[in-house]
Amino acid sequence: MNRGRSMATPGEQCAGLRVWNQTEQEPAAYHLLSLCFVRAASSWVPPMYLWVLGPIYLLYIHRHGRCYLRMSHLFKTKMVLGLALILLYTFNVAVPLWRIHQGVPQAPELLIHPTVWLTTMSFATFLIHMERRKGVRSSGVLFGYWLLCCILPGINTVQQASAGNFRQEPLHHLATYLCLSLVVAELVLSCLVDQPPFFSEDSQPLNPCPEAEASFPSKAMFWWASGLLWRGYKKLLGPKDLWSLGRENSSEELVSQLEREWRRSCNGLPGHKGHSSVGAPETEAFLQPERSQRGPLLRAIWRVFRSTFLLGTLSLVISDAFRFAVPKLLSLFLEFMGDRNSSAWTGWLLAVLMFAAACLQTLFEQQHMYRAKVLQMRLRTAITGLVYRKVLVLSSGSRKSSAAGDVVNLVSVDIQRLAESIIYLNGLWLLFLWIFVCFVYLWQLLGPSALTAVAVFLSLLPLNFFITKKRGFHQEEQMRQKASRARLTSSMLRTVRTIKSHGWEHAFLERLLHIRGQELSALKTSTLLFSVSLVSFQVSTFLVALVVFAVHTLVAEDNAMDAEKAFVTLTVLSILNKAQAFLPFSVHCIVQARVSFDRLAAFLCLEEVDPNGMIASNSRRSSKDRISVHNGTFAWSQESPPCLHGINLTVPQGCLLAVVGPVGAGKSSLLSALLGELLKVEGSVSIEGSVAYVPQEAWVQNTSVVENVCFRQELDLPWLQKVLDACALGSDVASFPAGVHTPIGEQGMNLSGGQKQRLSLARAVYKKAAIYLLDDPLAALDAHVSQQVFKQVIGPSGLLQGTTRILVTHTLHVLPQADRILVLANGTIAEMGSYQDLLQRNGALVGLLDGARQPAGTHDAATSDDLGGFPGGGRPTCRPDRPRPTEAAPVKGRSTSEVQMEASLDDPEATGLTAEEDSVRYGRVKTTIYLSYLRAVGTPLCTYTLFLFLCQQVASFSQGYWLSLWADDPVVDGRQMHAALRGWVFGLLGCLQAIGLFASMAAVFLGGARASGLLFRSLLWDVARSPIGFFERTPVGNLLNRFSKETDTVDVDIPDKLRSLLTYAFGLLEVGLAVTMATPLAIVAILPLMVLYAGFQSLYVATSCQLRRLESARYSSVCSHMAETFQGSLVVRAFRAQASFTAQHDALMDENQRVSFPKLVADRWLATNLELLGNGLVFVAATCAVLSKAHLSAGLVGFSVSAALQVTQTLQWVVRSWTDLENSMVAVERVQDYARIPKEAPWRLPTCAAQPLWPCGGQIEFRDFGLRHRPELPLAVQGVSLKIHAGEKVGIVGRTGAGKSSLAWGLLRLQEAAEGNIWIDGVPITHVGLHTLRSRITIIPQDPVLFPGSLRMNLDLLQEHTDEGIWAALETVQLKAFVTSLPGQLQYECAGQGDDLSVGQKQLLCLARALLRKTQILILDEATASVDPGTEMQMQAALERWFTQCTVLLIAHRLRSVMDCARVLVMDEGQVAESGSPAQLLAQKGLFYRLAHESGLA
């Protein structure tokens, strides 16, 4: 091929132009688009492209290369074609050289161009070879090169085919056709993917991400994700359908990179001392920067993620270059349409260029978004991992300053905000560039009139800032009310048994609905201001255009309004408006992210456990002393005063040391000090050997029983069975639905307090540690269980014999069996020695024993062990057909995590879940859900809203059409005759659109607030009216999710998504109408586009909804694990299990990212392909305009094409809005979940059988009474028939699971009778409303419960008593002095559920609350469990004084407390086994006698 013909020879003068249009002269206006220029550009651009990018690309693949590829057929074909092209261009060089040799003069370019192309083709072939060597399977650089190379041969081919001079120059023709064929073949081959490398460095995952296998076009347009979208459309997606996570996105890799860089940043700070890494990694401190908090973390994030961010920024800059090319091309196109003498090929070229520029803008912008979203995902993973690792090393002081909810808030809100800010970072500088370029364009179009646009935009800024500030104020108010509502809701749900027992639901509902009303009021105001803000942004384009056009028409010399000025100005102003709208939003997001970043940095810099606070050694040396403390003084934090002073303690190998003392003496603090949890002010602590720890408040995981006990250790079946039996768990576990594989609910919600404590003890025993630190593990156990556990586990002959044990206890009767006893008082050691030595000293220990007013051997401390557990569970004997709890466990040698995975995945039914799972919903949202939401909004309001949207869109269409008529008005003497009329009508239509837009948006938001209020009230009522069994089966987290996240979605997201959907959908209709009205021919192309659009929409919506739901469920597990670890971090550290917990967190995070990554790819797939469809609509509008040029005005074409340009992103946002709305509608479905569950009996009956003063006596009669906890379970209480006389004091005793508390729940109708009935003062309780019944009975439960609010509110919830009466009750329970010392006294605000008070103080407050009720019937369920024995006796005396005339039911776990009862009921297996006075029952020597004997009372 004669390459010289690519450019005009000196004599030709670009004669090729005539090929395109033989009759028309070239217009001067199009010299930039002449065929000469196009051919010259196409000759030089491809070589320049490859020589600029090629070396950079070569360097990149050299550094990041992988294993070489096999020599495939694809590679061989590419090389053959490349060599053929080299030969062809060698021939093109040789021909002019031969002609010069023959004496024929040749133009220099005839030699230069082929030479340049020869070297370029050689370089391209070399790149093909190097890509195989470096493992590159598909090349983007070469794809772009071959695409550019197609342009010149394509132009030459069209030119030569049109000229028809094949016979004159056959060789030249053949060379041109051959060149085109070879280049097109190379382009096609570059769309294919080569075979994988011979030796892969990484092992192939089960379901690898198809991106690695994708070609460059597939990567550019995200077609490689189509397989997953198709699967999601055809069926429900499961875990096996999701791609495996690449190492570069894994939690382990990302967190380690960020942690390494942060350590480097922190160690580089002046004055920073790096922590020593001596010792186990579990004990090593995390990161504690001493000075700057934000700087080191920011530097670390930049170092880890800068390459991805900078590459995304480059894509965005290139995208913006094409973004601003479109208005220029539109200007040239409208100039072409207005010039009747212009060449036809110019219009076609401009249409293609507009389409190409829009497509390139789309592709580069979506690549930027893809990289930004991947960066968001990685950043979220890395920082969440840092937070989790920090949680594991927080000191006790830091944990007190941060609640579990605060940590979850950091993960779910602050990290999310920080990640989302990445998209807006470039907006801080790039938007100013947008604004500058827009004003340059406007100046070119309108001259000095463009300055008025600046004035209008500047005048709108104060309005927007004012609205934003006011809206921010109302949003803050709404957030405060929402936080208040969330706290109260959480408290209600966690203490629902207490609330229902007292009949307080109505009072709490009123309080909650009052807060909700204030929240919705703030929300309405905020959304109305948001509507004004949205309208101001939407209408600002119109306002600026109106002012600019008016000034231009009145002032400018050339003031005629043509199509180019009108519609290019509108296009530029729409870009300017985006910048103006996006800039304050970017600033707002960055400010929010900075606040969140500071919170994260502050949390990550909180005080940590001092790694040198305790010297630990795992050696098994035969040292005499296992534990030694020398002159130890300890404090909870650097700010707090010391809590332990002058501790000198040595504990020898195998010693059982009992630690006793009054409440607040520092017993638990001593164990914390030994664990290294307290700040060591002075002295030293040394521990030799592994440690196991049992906390005072049992911590159990939300996993199976076997996983809780084994606690990340290898499963040993015989030892597990032995441990369970010794800890009195064998029979309990046997009665669980799935034995050891039974899942335990959140915070052990489906276990009783005693079961949780014994499980916690079993976990410690299973470890086979050298040292055991036991913080009062016997307190939550019944007397006989307590004795059994002490004897078989802790005592001299128990499983732990020979180990070193420190036992903190209030159970004084075990003291004689201890080797040594340590008595603490006020944070110091009062005395220490053997039991006999201390008795002889007559010191602090004797004082404690005297305070109990009983011999030390007769004291037994326990609390109820049959509440809240598995219904029917916890029986002392298991059913004959029940296998042993560990029979089904797998063989030794397999990890416990495998056990759990098998049980939960292979056979879900085998786990026997007792808690209702918060299952992920699949498929599309049903139409009935949409209808239920619309009914909540109201049919009239829905109709009115649609009418308003239609009106404002009609005004918008009329405005654009009117502008096209204005542009087409004839110009007479440089002016248009009706300019003033046109301007006034244009302004009026714009104002009408603004009013309609505000009214329609306000209607959507107000309707949403109305629906949200009704749905919340319905949800609240449904939950409050549910029976107690529903709360036992349903995790609190599921309920809280409905009241927080789902309610927030209904409040905010659904109205906003509905507004977006309606706005974009009506806008899309307007564009379709504009294009078809201007060029009816376009409808032929629009119909196929609509079919493709519907196909993309269906694929995306079906898959996206599933992925979003899966992501929400997976992220919930991450947050739950984070909160669970925070609560149990003390146990995790004591067991040195940080590494396994960190691995579990990483695995959960990776599972979440396995869903997040496909979701973000699906979003990019939709955006890219729908924007390309939108660009197709622009191309259709432009080409139809070229075809119909003869009878189309420039104004109408401007209206059509500019409208089509606006629709590019509208297409995807209609689908996005619809998908978001459907995802959000799941919240309505979930909020309505509980409407169908059975409800408890009415709270009030219209014809109540009880009189106002009922019960006046308090006589209780059980008639053949029986109840069961759930319909499918056997009777828990059966055949109980007895009468309790008015004023009688009756004790109820029995072993664990005997049904003691079930009688109380039956009396309060927390569980309805399965058979028989209960009568009070001759009235059957089923004939009385629940609130009437429960308000006439007082119960003091085992667990003390306080609510968020003042002390006075907690004591007198219904505001029925005077301050004097409240102070009298406080004095009775000996809390008057304490309350007087509090700030605000009775108005003192309780933190959380009284977290700032001790358990004993909370129990005394609950006692005072019960005294104020003064009901005729009192139920005591171990009301004094949390106070020391001396105070207990005084409390008993106070109760007797206040309730002398009342009927008292005393559920007893300390048998001593029933000895003064008139009658005692002994329960066994749900029946009354014995009844009589204590003396009579002891004389019978039956079950009561045996219980008394076990407790040391007989």
Q: How far apart, in whole angstroms, are the C-alpha atoms of residue 1125 and residue 1384?
A: 35
Lookup result for tokens 């005004």: 955
Q: Which of 816, 850, 884 is the last residue of a domain?
A: 850
pLDDT (mean) for 1180-1207:
78
| Residue 1157 · residue 367 · CB < 8 Å | no
Q: What is the largest CA-CA distance in the chain?
A: 139
According to the annotation, is 124 in a ligand binding site?
Answer: no
Q: How far apart, in whole angstroms, are the C-alpha atoms of residue 862 and residue 849?
A: 17
The mean-pLDDT minimum among 7-11, 30-34, 472-476, 1080-1084 falls in 7-11
According to the annotation, is 664 in a ligand binding site?
Answer: yes
pLDDT (mean) for 208-215:
85
Q: How far is CA 505 from CA 433, 489, 919, 1407, in A?
A: 59, 12, 28, 20
- Candidates 847, 851, 728; CA nearest to 784 is 728
What integer pLDDT is reported at residue 372 of this predicted model? 93
Q: Is residue 317 part of a domain?
A: no
According to the annotation, is 1297 in a ligand binding site?
Answer: yes
Q: How sure is the predictor about 539, in pLDDT bands with cuts at 50, 70 and 90? A: confident
The more confidently predicted of residues 621 and 977 is 977
Quick: pLDDT tens for 904-958.
Answer: 323 333 333 334 445 555 556 788 888 988 999 988 999 998 999 898 888 888 8
Q: Is residue 460 part of a domain?
A: no
Residue 330 has pLDDT above 50, yes or no: yes
Residue 874 has pLDDT above 80, yes or no: no
Q: How sure is the predictor about 369, in pLDDT bands with cuts at 50, 70 and 90? A: very high
3-class secondary-structure state, position 913? coil
According to the annotation, is 1300 in a ligand binding site?
Answer: yes
CA 184 to chain centre: 48
Q: How far apart, in whole angstroms, are the C-alpha atoms of residue 372 and residue 305?
A: 10
What integer pLDDT is reported at residue 857 of this predicted model? 37
Q: Within a 13 Å sphere around the CA of 413, how many CA atoms are in the beta-carbon half?
A: 11
Q: How sure is the predictor about 901, in pLDDT bands with cuts at 50, 70 and 90? A: very low
CA 789 to chain centre: 42
| Residue 113 · residue 4 · CB < 8 Å | yes
3-class secondary-structure state, position 1081? helix
Q: Is residue 525 part of a domain?
A: no
3-class secondary-structure state, position 1062? helix
The mean-pLDDT minimum among 214-228, 622-636, 995-1009, 1059-1073 falls in 622-636
Residue 27 has pLDDT above 50, yes or no: no
Q: Within a 13 Å sphere around the CA of 503, how many CA atoms are in the beta-carbon half?
A: 20
Q: Is residue 798 part of a domain?
A: yes
What's the token pair of residue 954?
Answer: 């009609």
According to the annotation, is 234 in a ligand binding site?
Answer: no
Q: How sure is the predictor about 281, in pLDDT bands with cuts at 50, 70 and 90? A: very low
Quick: pLDDT tens for 416-468.
Answer: 888 888 888 888 888 888 888 888 888 877 778 778 877 787 777 777 778 77
What integer pLDDT is reported at residue 912 of this predicted model? 36
Quick: pLDDT tens for 1196-1225.
Answer: 777 777 777 777 777 778 887 887 888 788
The more confidently predicted of residues 446 and 82 is 82
Q: Is residue 464 part of a domain?
A: no
pLDDT (mean) for 90-109:
81
Quick: pLDDT tens for 948-1002.
Answer: 989 888 888 888 778 777 766 666 665 666 667 777 887 888 888 888 888 998 9
3-class secondary-structure state, position 1263? strand
Residue 106 has pLDDT above 70, yes or no: yes
What integer pLDDT is reported at residue 1214 of this predicted model? 84
Q: Which of 850, 865, 882 is the last residue of a domain?
A: 850
Cβ neighbourhood burial of 171 (10 Å; 0-12, 13-18, 19+): exposed
What integer pLDDT is reported at residue 736 of this predicted model? 79
Lookup result for tokens 């029946």: 1471
- Candidates 1407, 1398, 1336, 1337; CA nearest to 1369 is 1407
What integer pLDDT is reported at residue 288 of this predicted model? 46
Overall domain count for the chain? 3
According to the annotation, is 1298 in a ligand binding site?
Answer: yes
Residue 1324 has pLDDT above 60, yes or no: yes
Residues above pLDDT 70, as percent of the chain: 83
Residue 378 has pLDDT above 90, yes or no: yes
What integer pLDDT is reported at residue 1483 of this predicted model? 85
Quick: pLDDT tens for 1091-1114.
Answer: 888 888 888 888 887 887 777 777
- Candidates 1011, 1226, 1211; CA nearest to 1113 is 1226
Residue 187 has pLDDT above 70, yes or no: yes
Residue 23 has pLDDT above 50, yes or no: no
Quick: pLDDT tens for 832-869.
Answer: 888 888 888 888 888 888 776 443 333 333 333 333 33
| Residue 517 · residue 1074 · CB < 8 Å | no
The more confidently predicted of residues 329 and 15 is 329
Quick: pLDDT tens for 1326-1355.
Answer: 888 888 888 888 888 777 778 777 888 888
Q: Hey, what amino acid is at 114? A: P
Residue 1261 has pLDDT above 70, yes or no: yes
Q: How sure is the predictor about 511, in pLDDT bands with cuts at 50, 70 and 90? A: confident
What integer pLDDT is reported at residue 1427 of this predicted model? 57
Q: Is residue 413 part of a domain?
A: no
CATH number at residue 767: 3.40.50.300
The more confidently predicted of residues 1062 and 67 is 1062
Residue 160 has pLDDT above 80, yes or no: no
Residue 63 has pLDDT above 60, yes or no: yes
Quick: pLDDT tens for 399-416.
Answer: 776 766 677 778 877 888
Quick: pLDDT tens for 566-592.
Answer: 777 777 877 877 777 777 778 878 888
| Residue 698 · residue 759 · CB < 8 Å | yes
According to the annotation, is 820 in a ligand binding site?
Answer: no
Residue 277 has pLDDT above 70, yes or no: no
| Residue 259 · residue 386 · CB < 8 Å | yes
| Residue 825 · residue 670 · CB < 8 Å | no
According to the annotation, is 578 in a ligand binding site?
Answer: no
Quote the domain boundaries for residue 1341: 1260-1495
Q: How far apart, in whole angstroms, are the C-alpha atoms of residue 393 and residue 387?
A: 10
Length of the chain: 1498
Quick: pLDDT tens for 1408-1443.
Answer: 888 888 788 888 876 665 556 666 666 677 777 777
Q: Computed over its alpha carbons, how large is the radius of gyration of the chain?
A: 40
According to the annotation, is 1376 in a ligand binding site?
Answer: no
3-class secondary-structure state, position 1220? helix
The mean-pLDDT minimum among 569-573, 1135-1139, 1378-1382, 1452-1456 falls in 1452-1456
- Candidates 763, 1261, 1274, 1305; CA nearest to 1031 is 1305
Q: Is residue 148 part of a domain?
A: yes
According to the annotation, is 665 in a ligand binding site?
Answer: yes
pTM (2 d.p.): 0.76
Beta strand pairing status for 1315-1320 and 1323-1324? antiparallel
Q: Which of 196, 214, 234 is the last residue of a domain?
A: 196
According to the annotation, is 526 in a ligand binding site?
Answer: no
Quick: pLDDT tens for 640-694.
Answer: 788 888 888 899 888 999 998 887 788 888 888 888 888 888 888 888 888 999 9
According to the annotation, is 666 in a ligand binding site?
Answer: yes
What integer pLDDT is reported at residue 559 of this predicted model? 61
Calculate the dihedral angle through the C-alpha atoms of 747, 749, 753, 754, rounding to the nearest 10 degrees: -100
CA 1288 to chain centre: 55
Q: Is residue 1006 part of a domain?
A: no
- Which of 26-30, 403-407, 1125-1129 has the highest mean predicted lDDT (pLDDT)? 1125-1129
Q: How sure is the predictor about 607, in pLDDT bands with cuts at 50, 70 and 90? A: confident
Q: How far apart, in whole angstroms, are the C-alpha atoms of residue 422 and residue 410?
A: 17
pLDDT (mean) for 1271-1291:
85
Sign of CA dihedral 445, 448, 454, 456: negative
Residue 526 has pLDDT above 80, yes or no: yes
According to the annotation, is 449 in a ligand binding site?
Answer: no
According to the annotation, is 990 in a ligand binding site?
Answer: no
What integer pLDDT is reported at residue 441 of this predicted model? 81
What integer pLDDT is reported at residue 274 of this predicted model? 39
- Candidates 1007, 1167, 1288, 1409; CA nearest to 362 is 1167
Q: Within a 13 Å sphere around the CA of 1300, how many CA atoms are in the beta-carbon half?
A: 32
What integer pLDDT is reported at residue 782 of this predicted model? 73
The more confidently predicted of residues 273 and 1225 is 1225
Residue 805 has pLDDT above 70, yes or no: yes
What integer pLDDT is reported at residue 185 of this predicted model? 92
What's the token pair of residue 1107?
Answer: 């992925």
Residue 884 has pLDDT above 50, yes or no: no
Residue 33 has pLDDT above 70, yes or no: no
Residue 563 has pLDDT above 50, yes or no: yes
Mean pLDDT, all residues of the chain: 79
What integer pLDDT is reported at residue 376 of this predicted model? 92
